Amino acid sequence: MFVRRRHRPRATLAGASAPVHGPPGPVQPAVFIGPTLAISWVIPAGQISFTVGVMQAFDSLFTHFGLGFAVPLIAIALAVGALAGMISWLDGPSEGLLLIGRKQGFLPPYFQKVNRYGIEVRIIAAQGVVITLIAVLYAFIPSVSHAYWVFTALATQVYLIMYVLMFIAAVKLRRSQPDRPRGYRAPALGLLCLLGTVSSVAAFVIGLIPPAQFGHLNPLTYAIEILAGILAIGIVPPLLMDRLRKPSWKAAGDGSAPPPPAARP
């Protein structure tokens, strides 16, 4: 459904807090907090796996009620959902890289090439190579569950840094360009950005504390490893792209990918 730009804040709030039919309700908190509490209720804290905690809960509950045959069906449904999420995670960053690479000259022309359908295949291939190299690191971490947690924590920490930068940019743009026409104007933007920044920084600090399953690991060592990973995957690459970019790499036009060709009759 098409939503006008000025209605987007209300649409986002409605989607986060109200059901499709009926009065408003805490849908998103129930979706995320409820299952988490259910897992902690069914599985002892010391036995929860970082990777298969959800399936552990389903297996325990369904087996208790004599519905163990449904566990494979749940596993297939989760795999399909994860695959759909993975596709969106692959497409979004690659399309953003193509756009900024063409408009600002961050990417060499080689990576700006697209196929006849407008897909940035070379960027996606580079993503595959990088992810494969990262996946190899699983071999150097004794537990797959621990490796999964470390990589998830790294991704979350990098996101939190970006959120803080976005909050700072929003305040700066409000002050430097107050009269610029926008799709909507957020009330009390300074307060919202302050709360967002404080929350993001708090979550970042919490992310540097090892979970109970890492009890054998020194907290300082864990924090240093996470910070080193953030530096390697979230800070150094953007700085190198900015340092190495060239004006000659800027593409003519608006930098968007060409539309796919029309279907033959």
Could you tell me the pLDDT band of residue 98, with boundaries at 50, 70 and 90? confident
Mean pLDDT of 190-208: 91
Sign of the torsion angle spanned by Cα atoms 80, 85, 90, 95: positive
Mean pLDDT of 192-200: 92
What pLDDT, on a 0 to 100 scale, did the predictor assign at position 31?
63
Higher-pLDDT residue of 79 and 3 is 79
Q: Which of 189, 204, 220, 116 is nearest to 156 (CA)?
A: 204
What pLDDT, on a 0 to 100 scale, did the predictor assign at position 22?
43
State the burial class of residue 257 (Cβ atoms within 10 Å of its Cβ: 0-12, 13-18, 19+).
Answer: middle
Mean pLDDT of 245-263: 60
Q: Which of 137, 162, 161, 163 is nearest to 150 (CA)?
A: 137
Contact 150, 137 (CB under 8 A): no
- CA 152 – CA 118 distance, rounded (Å): 31
For the chain, the average pLDDT equals 77
Contact 161, 227 (CB under 8 A): no
What pLDDT, on a 0 to 100 scale, did the predictor assign at position 256?
47
Residue type for position 186? A
Query: pLDDT for 24-77, tens place per residue?
Result: 445 555 666 666 676 667 666 666 666 667 777 788 778 877 888 888 888 888
Lowest mean pLDDT among 29-43, 64-78, 79-93, 149-163: 29-43
Contact 260, 117 (CB under 8 A): yes
Could you tell me the pLDDT band of residue 195, with boundaries at 50, 70 and 90? very high
Above pLDDT 90, what percent of the chain?
12
Sign of the torsion angle spanned by Cα atoms 99, 102, 107, 109: positive
What pLDDT, on a 0 to 100 scale, did the predictor assign at position 109?
87
Contact 210, 219 (CB under 8 A): yes
Contact 154, 233 (CB under 8 A): yes
Long-range contacts of 118-121 (CB under 8 A, 24+ apart): 118/257, 118/258, 118/259, 118/260, 119/257, 120/94, 120/95, 120/257
What pLDDT, on a 0 to 100 scale, did the predictor assign at position 74?
85
